[in-house]
Chains A and B, each alone.
Chain A
């Protein structure tokens, strides 16, 4: 099988996956009872009526973690191709990657010292 055949298989898998979900959901829609009632629609809050709004602002620490994640995940995207081929590459590439990892490590240390990693 060629390169494209492999990805065609993935495409077919996607279609199969969606069919699976829709059959389950449609089956449930057909078989499950449905009765409209007012009290059912109240969102659960330990048996009490919900107090105030349910969608609120999210704490900023989540964004900090998200930014860190972006940094490190992008880093690994760069490292993966290198990891596959690094044996055939010239020596300076290795040093570059090491410098790259060290810089990111310093970034982690910086974030650590600034207290971003403390979950307060």
Chain B
């Protein structure tokens, strides 16, 4: 709730900036209540508003309902359509069902850790929204290290997942726990190195300032940092256990991974907040890479928070899309992707960005140079991705995707001895 006034009006009814309403409330509280009240209420308003207006509805109707509907469409079926109009009440029915199911704790499980795990998992979910700027004045806590803060908070669920897997006294849970930790820490490194490129360009770690930077330069960081964006997307989906990388909950291998022994609301908290974290990752990604609440001047007329919500949901749609399309990688392939592929590329990207930024600064070039950087970085990203894959021995053209055809039966068909054909 800091920063210069940005929009034309400061009336409480101007919905383009919801902080107007909270300011009115706070001023009223200042008049009637003790000094500390406004301090406590101010972030509370932010959290409650963020949750009631955005997170909870999105979680329920985009995360639970929308995802199932969309994946249903992709799989040529209908998805939930029974509870309420168009099945819209499905998430609420799910919640009611989950809350009245018995949460079983198996014998021999570490009870204390098992009950603590959902707490550790869910409690930080509120905190990640503190640094996401919904508008020029609409950020709950615009802390100067917002980017690192976000990374730190989103590392906590990994701990919770490990606690959940370890405490269950179950072999599949243990597999899931070990996988989740190994994968999360591997992708964390590439993710952090990728985001360093962004920080190099913007010279700040405050998310609000990153958005302002993109608005001032009239370019989204996704164009300046395409490689970092791709690394962010892959790493985020790895840390969120979404499908191409969902080895920690791999249903077809280890039943439900670290959640095998969870039931009832204990499981429901994990399930619900998984979506919450995915939304947060989408919001963070759209803030850092897709211009946040800004949309090339359109934010003057359209409410900025609406722009961010739209971008977040678009980002989240890509998560849903990959989930509906791709098979799952194996753990050694995922580790190789993180350590051998994304980490070196992120490091190279870092050096390149540092050189570019330094050149820009030292030579005193104008802001128009960012478009040149964007073109150069996109070309470089493509070159690096393809070239590094080749270096590591990736030869897709050598994999035949159609079998050989023969006309007559016999023994082993040596390569080149095919007799078939036709059509």
Contact = CB atoms under 8 A, between A and B. Distances in A.
Question: Do A and B touch, yes or no (CB under 8 Å, in the complex)?
Answer: yes
Interface of A: 1, 5-10, 12-14, 16-18, 20-22, 24-25, 27-28, 31-35, 40-46, 50, 54-56, 58-59, 62, 65-66, 68-69, 72-73, 76, 79-80, 83-87, 94, 97-98, 101, 104-105, 108, 112, 117-120
B126 A13 contact: yes
Contact of A94 (B115, B122, B358): B358
Interface stretch (B189-197, B278-286, B395-403, B405-413): B189-197
B39 interface: yes
Q: Which residue among A1, A41, A66, A119 has the maximum number of chain B CB atoms within 10 Å of its CB?
A: A119
Contacts of A18: 119, 123
A111 to B, nearest CB: 8
Contacts of A20: 122-123, 126
A33 B102 contact: yes
Looking at chain B's contact residues, is the secondary structure mostly helix, strand, loop, or mixed? helix
A16 B332 contact: no
Contacts, number: 207
B250 to A, nearest CB: 15
5 contacts: A8-B39, A20-B123, A20-B126, A21-B119, A40-B104
Interface in B1-60: 1-2, 39-40, 42-44, 46-47
B130 interface: yes
Nearest 9 Cβ contacts at the A-B interface: A28-B265, A119-B332, A41-B107, A9-B43, A17-B123, A17-B126, A9-B141, A69-B185, A6-B141
Contacts of B42: 1, 9
Contacts of A56: 174
Q: How large is the interface on B (under 10, 10 to 19, 20 to 34, 35 or more residues)?
A: 35 or more
B122 A34 contact: no
Contacts of B141: 6-7, 9-10, 13
A112 B340 contact: yes
B119 A16 contact: no
Interface stretch (B213-221, B343-351, B372-380): B343-351
B274 interface: no
